[in-house]
Amino acid sequence: MVADTQAHEDERLRAESFVTKLMKKPELGAIGGVILVTLFFLATADSTMFTLSGIMNFMTPAAQLGILGIAAAMLMIGGEFDLSIGSMVAFAGMVFGVFTVNLGLPLILAIPMTMAFAASIGAVNGSIVLKTGLPSFIVTLAGLFILRGASLVGLKIFTGGSTQLRGVRDAVEGDWLAPIFSGDAFAGLFGWLASLGIIETFKNGAPKIPGIPVEILWFIAFALVATYILLRTPVGNWIFATGGDTDAATNSGVPVRRVKISLFMLTACAAALVAIITVMDAGSTDARRGFMKEFEAIITAVIGGCLLTGGYGSAIGAFFGAIIFGMVTIGLTYTDFDQDWFQIFLGGMLLLAVVFNNAIRKRVTGER
């Protein structure tokens, strides 16, 4: 009798092997992708790509895309899409520019007001999706065109006919919040390292890298906070449950409506953050800012392990997915390859990621 009991021991109590646990990690494919891409560029690119300055060069665009990608990943885990995120970068940039240049508001007011403006639009997107039952793909696709058009019209109104608003850098110069959202951090540390000869310098002794671009710090912080929320809080459980099975989540007491609307607000605010950072760095904003970023953000999330069906994914996976983008975008300039290969890479990586993630999903769920 004891033998029979042991033979029919509950499978849930069996210890999983390290390989089995590893295969269930959503970020596995993205980490593998980073390793493969790194090896590729080590073999084909100029050696300066992996110097400190080279790393900063590809991490900067990776960080900007990664902030969008992590937010998109969390929304996809919750079972929805946001195709308006790229247009929101342009629209939020216009709003921020108007607040700072046209109205002369200090950053302590302009930044929260821009975020609130973006969050309200995200909430509207989420409410429309939930009230109408329409796919979020369609609702936010409409939002993509509406926000892009609103950016064009708005900029012409506030600039007197131009689609570019300048003067942001002058408007925020000297503001105590400016260093948090633009420029380079730890300039003193890098200057000290340069004086010791630890990092590269110009002939006059100035460091070639004056500091760490602030968007990289925002990127890392966002990835850590998102990962903590997904894996260590009840909200994370709600997000996974909402994307996995909405009806079951509702019956279990999960506030599905609140979760989904909050995730749409998150993607909008992530776009607004990228808009603020890029507008302050460039000193201007224009209607084409964020163009195609909605698709790149979703591809980043998919490469990072998110399933298109929801309920599965990883913020850390999106973090590494964005790094892959940054490495390839900038890395091709260090090689003899035509940079148009980047488009082929995007399609190939998306296809491979979907195939890989689908295989992992079947392995985890036991489907055939």
> How many separate helices (H) and strands (E) can be counted in the chain?
17, 4
In tens, the pLDDT along 66-108 reads: 999 999 999 999 999 999 999 999 999 999 999 999 999 999 9
> Are 214 and 187 contacting, i.e. CB atoms less than 8 angstroms apart?
no
Taking the domains of the chain in order of start, what are their residue ranges?
59-365
Q: How many angstroms separate the CA atoms of 78 and 243, rounded?
A: 4
In tens, the pLDDT along 251-267 reads: 999 999 999 999 999 99
Two structure tokens written together for 182: 């633009």
Q: What angle do CA 229, 223, 231 make, to 5 degrees?
A: 30
Predicted pLDDT of residue 59: 95
pTM of the model: 0.91
Q: How many angstroms separate the CA atoms of 56 and 216, rounded?
A: 9
In tens, the pLDDT along 274-307 reads: 999 999 999 999 999 999 899 999 989 988 888 8
* pLDDT above 90: percentage of residues in the chain: 62
In tens, the pLDDT along 173-215 reads: 999 999 999 999 998 888 888 888 888 888 777 888 899 999 9
Two structure tokens written together for 246: 């909405």
CA quadruple 154, 298, 365, 320: dihedral, nearest 10 = -130
8 pLDDT more than 70: no
DSSP, collapsed to helix, strand or coil, labels residue 184 as: strand
Angle formed by the axes of helices 28-44 and 293-303, to 10°?
110
CATH 1.20.5 fits 59-365, yes or no: no
Two structure tokens written together for 14: 């069996």
Name the band, by pLDDT with cuts 50, 70 and 90, for residue 367. low
Q: What is the CA radius of gyration of the chain?
A: 22
